[in-house]
Amino acid sequence: MYTELQNFLKKELSSIEEAGLYKKEREILSSQQAKIRVGDKDVLNFCANNYLGLSNNSRVIDAAKKAMDSHGFGMSSVRFICGTQDMHKQLERAISDYFGTEDTILYASCFDANGGLFEPLMGPEDAIISDALNHASIIDGVRLSKAVRYRYANGNMEDLERQLQLAQAQRFRIIATDGVFSMDGNVAPLDRIVELAEKYKAIVMVDECHSAGVVGPTGRGITELYNLRGKVEVLTGTLGKAFGGAVGGFTTGKKEIIDLLRQRSRPYLFSNSVPPAVVGASLEVFRMLSQSDEIHDKLAANIKHFIGGMKAAGFDIKPTQSAICAVMLYDARLSQQMAAALFDEGIYVTGFYYPVVPKDQARIRVQVSAGHSIEDLDKCKDAFIKVARKFGVLK
Ligand X SMILES: *Cc1c(COP(=O)(O)O)cnc(C)c1O
Is 255 catalytic? The answer is no
**DSSP code, position 188:** P
Q: How far apart are CA 142 and CA 56, in angstroms?
A: 34
With CB under 6 A as the contact rule, the residue among 111, 118, 348, 384 that binds ligand X is: 111
Shortest separation between residue 118's beta carbon and ligand X, angstroms: 14
314: left (phi over 0), alpha (psi -120 to 50) or beta: left
Alpha carbons 171 and 68: distance in angstroms, whole number: 47
- Interface with ligand X includes 55 (CB under 6 A)? no
Instruction: Please name the residues in contact with 9: beta carbons below 8 A apart, sequence gap of 6 or more.
Output: none
Contact 205, 117 (CB under 8 A): yes
Contact 28, 42 (CB under 8 A): no
State phi, psi for 235 to the nearest 5 degrees: -120, 140
Residue 107 β-bridge partners: 249
Q: Work out whether 133 is an interface residue with ligand X (CB under 6 A).
A: no
* 137 near ligand X, rule: CB under 6 A: yes
Q: Which is nearer to ligand X, 182 or 350 (CB)?
A: 182
Which residues, numbered 211-240, are part of the site for ligand X (CB under 6 A)? 238, 240
The residue from 96, 145, 182, 211 that is catalytic is 182
- Residue number, 248 or 309, with CB nearest to ligand X: 248
Which residue in 55, 57, 85, 109 binds ligand X (CB under 6 A)?
109
Confirm or reject binding of residue 131 to ligand X (CB under 6 A).
Answer: no
Helices and strands: H and E segment counts in the chain:
15, 13
Among the listed ranges 103-111, 198-206, 255-263, 337-345, the one in contact with ligand X (CB under 6 A) is: 103-111
Q: How near is the Cβ of 348 to ligand X at its closest, in Å?
A: 19
The residue (of 119 and 178) whose beta carbon lies closer to ligand X is 178
- Per CB under 6 A, contacts with ligand X among 243-262 are 249
Clarify whether 241 is annotated catalytic. yes
- Among residue numbers 56 through 85, which ones bind ligand X (CB under 6 A)? none
Q: Which is nearer to ligand X, 183 or 313 (CB)?
A: 183
Catalytic-labelled residue, pool 71, 241, 296, 372: 241
**Choice between 241 and 372, CB closer to ligand X:** 241
Give the residue, chosen from 57, 182, 271, 369, that forms a contact with ligand X under the rule CB under 6 A.
Answer: 182
Choosing from 92, 119, 131, 178, the residue that interacts with ligand X (CB under 6 A) is 178
Q: Across the strands, what pairs with 328?
A: 363
Nearer to ligand X, 268 or 315 (CB): 268
Per CB under 6 A, 343 contacts ligand X: no
Q: Are 237 and 110 in contact (CB under 8 A)?
A: yes
Whether 224 contacts 151, CB under 8 Å: no
In angstroms, rounded to a whole number, what is the distance separating the alpha carbons of residues 304 and 372? Answer: 13
DSSP-derived letter for residue 187 is B
Tell me if residue 296 is catalytic.
Answer: no
Report the SS3 class of residue 264: helix
Backbone angles phi, psi at 220, to 5 degrees: -85, 20
110 binds ligand X (CB under 6 A): yes
From the candidates 210, 298, 318, 372, which is the catalytic residue? 210
Neighbours of 11 (CB within 10 A): 10
Q: How many residues bind ligand X (CB under 6 A)?
A: 14
Nearer to ligand X, 103 or 207 (CB): 207
Question: CB count, 10 Å around CB of 354?
Answer: 12
Under the binding rule (CB under 6 A), the answer on residue 202 touching ligand X is no
Q: Which stretch binds ligand X (CB under 6 A): 94-102, 206-214, 278-286, 326-334?
A: 206-214
- Output the CA–CA distances (angstroms, integers) from residue 159 to 101, 150, 175, in the order listed: 29, 10, 12
CB burial of residue 29 (10 Å; 0-12, 13-18, 19+): exposed
Q: List, by residue number, the catalytic residues.
A: 182, 210, 241
Residues that bind ligand X (CB under 6 A): 109-111, 114, 135, 137, 178, 182, 207, 209-210, 238, 240, 249
